[in-house]
Amino acid sequence: MQQGKIATDALVIGGGIAGLQAALDLADQGFRVLIVEREPSIGGKMIALSKVFPTLDCSSCICTPRMAAAAHHENISILTYCEVQQVDPAGDGFTARILKKPRYVDEVVCTGCRLCEYACPVNVAHEFEGELVARKAIYVPFSNAIPQVAMVDLDNCLLCGRCEKECPPGAIDFFQEPEEVTVEAGTVIIATGFEMTHMEAKPEYGLGRLRNVLNPLQVERLLAPHGPYGRVLRPSDGKVPDTIAYIQCAGSRDHTLGVPYCSRVCCMYAIKQAMLLSGSLPLVEVTIYYMDIRAFGKGFEQFYQNAKAMGIEFVKAKVAKITEDEQQNPVVRIEVIEEDGRVEERAHDMVVLSLGIVPAGHADGVLPASRAEDGFFLAAEPKLAPCRTDHEGVFVAGTAAGPKDIPDSIVEGGAAALEAAAHLRRNGRSPGRDMNARQESTQGTLAQQAN
Amino acid sequence: MSENGAEKKTAKTQRTAVALRKQLGGAPHEVLKRNKEQNRLRRTIVDAMRQGSATVPEIAETTKLPSHQVLWHLMAMKKYGEVVEGDQQGDYFKYVLVQKQEKAK
Ligand SMILES: Cc1cc2nc3c(=O)[nH]c(=O)nc-3n(C[C@H](O)[C@H](O)[C@H](O)COP(=O)(O)OP(=O)(O)OC[C@H]3O[C@@H](n4cnc5c(N)ncnc54)[C@H](O)[C@@H]3O)c2cc1C
């Protein structure tokens, strides 16, 4: 296995919006930062969103510049498609072992032209698009991925070599090996984000079984300009939906799932999507089945009121289960709470489950920081220092610490950067020092990619 | 991993994929099987579309394939420029095959 070594001031684990903000705020002060991202691109969940509540700004229009700023910052290095295997305290800093997985494409040589992708004969469900459309076995992860570099999904590859034949710079190398990188850092920021409640959690709601029951990230993609269908259609047969329903708290505030907490963003993303769907499908009727609407943030209540004024129907109801009729219309069985408590069955063309936010990231013991009872990283002093974990020099930002929206994740990214900078200074590391001399990667990819 | 520029240039003829395939004694059986089945579905859909533009339910009806599979393949073909979206007919859009200008190399 290839070996590499990187010395840096701060190691940021996770390149979502919180990690990017933390990295940029440290780098702007002159500290050297290494972002390690598990996926083939930075950007986290935000880069997959269509528009963002409550302003309805285009998400990729505001996320892409942050990604590019980090990628082009002279003090930031980025390693994508990596597994953080272990982070241990070492002296007054930390040593991390990172496995850089092979893309089978040379990141320095690839120009992202996608000729390989067009040449590839294999179609595979595209994870980034909620599996609603295909990608190829060699592919650039998505249109605004950073880095814009192709990768081979070897598990689905026919090894036919057509991609290699088409690749103008000859970037493809099926013998590429994993690389083990040792990182020495003065501080660590955990920004590993969240996952959605797993779809098996509520089998009675049919996610993964009923074709027209979707998760909300799939709907973000349906609403995105370069989404899987280029417009909103339902997956069972391409019908333009006339009626769409949202089921709130489908995976939050539910002790049976081990998710007793409120996921904080689901009310708002459901309202946002309902408004966007009404905008793109003028005749659609959107119903939101809810327990109660939590519109706690700045501008949120007004956003909710606007949705009601637009004609989005809010029905206070408990949803028992979802079945399907012969036309594959999901049928929602509800108890109408606010009226007489009657039980009704209502058919819709499409149903979206407002899934909750659950912890992501590492197995216990990989990072030198504890998790709280809910599984998110523990803030040792939640009131006075919410970004500090229970290990000195390790900080947490964004949804790795608990459910929150984008502005709060960004604020925490900045706060974690400030705490980390203070920690570095306390340990005698001053910003602006030329760290290049200490960066001794054995291989071209690492050295060149790391800026 | 990355070699120097000159060596890289020759990669075009080296075909590391083919070398790996030889080393492994062929592509995995499962992958080959899946791909064959996909090609069959694709051909059936393309044949059904030769008569002209059609909606997903119409193609599903002609081919006797499940409509979700028809949609998935159509959208993949649309993404890679083999199909375009046509007019709307009721609740459904029609899709049209793109005439190939030249045969694939
Ligand atoms: C459907 C939906 C719609 C939403 N809409 C909005 C909205 O309109 N407005 C709004 O403000 N908020 C919205 N949110 C919330 C928003 O997505 C989050 O607030 C935001 O993405 C959190 O950013 P983050 O960086 O903390 O986490 P993430 O976006 O999850 O990023 C974490 C990153 O860390 C990486 N990572 C994870 N584990 C590892 C590891 N072990 N090693 C290395 N890297 C790792 C991940 O791959 C990822 O890139 C929405 C959420 C959902 C689910």
For residues A202 and A311, state if they share a domain.
yes
Residue B1 has pLDDT above 60, yes or no: no
CA A205 to chain centroid? 23
Q: Report which ligand 1 atom has the smallest distance to the Cα of A400.
A: 26
Q: Which residues of B touch A167 (CB under 8 A)?
A: 11-12
Confidence label for B100 from pLDDT (cuts 50, 70 and 90): confident
Divide the 451 residues of chain A into consecutive groups of 10 and give the mean pLDDT of each group: 93 98 98 98 98 96 97 98 97 97 97 97 97 98 97 97 96 96 98 90 91 98 95 98 97 88 96 97 97 93 96 96 97 92 96 95 86 94 95 98 97 98 96 54 42 38
For residues A209 and A62, state if they share a domain.
no
B20 and A159 within 8 Å at the Cβ level: the answer is yes
A123 and B18 within 8 Å at the Cβ level: the answer is no
Residue B32 has pLDDT above 90, yes or no: yes
- State the total domains in chain A: 3
For residues A143 and A289, state if they share a domain.
no
**Cross-strand bridge partners of residue B54:** B95
For residues A381 and A443, state if they share a domain.
yes
**Candidate from B3, B17, B56 with C-beta closest to A161:** B17
B10 and A170 within 8 Å at the Cβ level: the answer is yes
Report the candidate in A194, A229, A183 with the shortest Cα–Cα distance to residue A399.
A194
Ligand 1 in contact with A107 (CB < 6 A)?
A: no
Assess: ipTM above 0.90: yes
pLDDT at B13: 53
pLDDT at A263: 95
Ligand 1 in contact with A70 (CB < 6 A)?
A: no
For residues A134 and A283, state if they share a domain.
no
Asked if residue A147 has a cis previous peptide bond (ω within 30° of 0), the answer is yes
For residues A74 and A134, state if they share a domain.
no
Asked if residue A282 has a cis previous peptide bond (ω within 30° of 0), the answer is no
Please check whether residue A158 touches B, CB under 8 A. yes
For tokens 């992708």, the residue is A117
| Main-chain phi, psi angles of A420, to 5 degrees | -65, -40
**A296 is in which domain, residue-wise?**
197-356
Q: Which of B71, B84, B94, B105 to mutate to test the interface with A (most CBs of A within 10 A)?
A: B71
Spatial contact of B27 and A161, defined as CB atoms under 8 Å apart: no
Q: Is residue A330 part of a domain?
A: yes
Domains annotated for chain B, with CATH where assigned, are 30-97 (1.10.10.10)
Report the candidate in A409, A132, A203 with the shortest Cα–Cα distance to residue B71.
A132
Confidence label for B101 from pLDDT (cuts 50, 70 and 90): low
> In 10 A of CB A319, how many CB atoms?
23
pLDDT at A365: 87
Say which CATH number the domain at A321 has.
3.50.50.60
**Candidate from A156, A164, A444 with C-beta closest to B12:** A164
Q: Is residue A285 part of a domain?
A: yes
pLDDT at A437: 41
Cβ density class A344-379: b for 16+ within 10 Å, e for less: eebebbbbbbbbbbbbbbbeeebbbbebeeeebbbb
pLDDT at B14: 55
| Ligand 1 centroid, distance to A46 Cα (angstroms) | 6
For residues A119 and A242, state if they share a domain.
no
Q: Is residue A108 part of a domain?
A: no
Q: Which amino acid is at A444?
A: G
Residue B8 has pLDDT above 60, yes or no: no
pLDDT at A442: 36
For residues A45 and A81, state if they share a domain.
yes
Q: Is residue A82 part of a domain?
A: yes
For residues A91 and A153, state if they share a domain.
no
Give A450's contacts (C-beta < 8 A, 6+ positions apart): A6, A34, A77, A78, A79, A439, A441
Ligand 1 in contact with A221 (CB < 6 A)?
A: no
Chain A, 201 to 220: residues with Cβ < 8 Å from chain B are 211
Q: Is residue A294 part of a domain?
A: yes
Ligand 1 in contact with A284 (CB < 6 A)?
A: no
Q: Is residue A368 part of a domain?
A: yes
Ligand 1 in contact with A395 (CB < 6 A)?
A: no
pLDDT at A222: 98
For residues A184 and A206, state if they share a domain.
no
Q: Which amino acid is at A257?
A: L
Q: Is residue A250 part of a domain?
A: yes
Q: Is residue A419 part of a domain?
A: yes
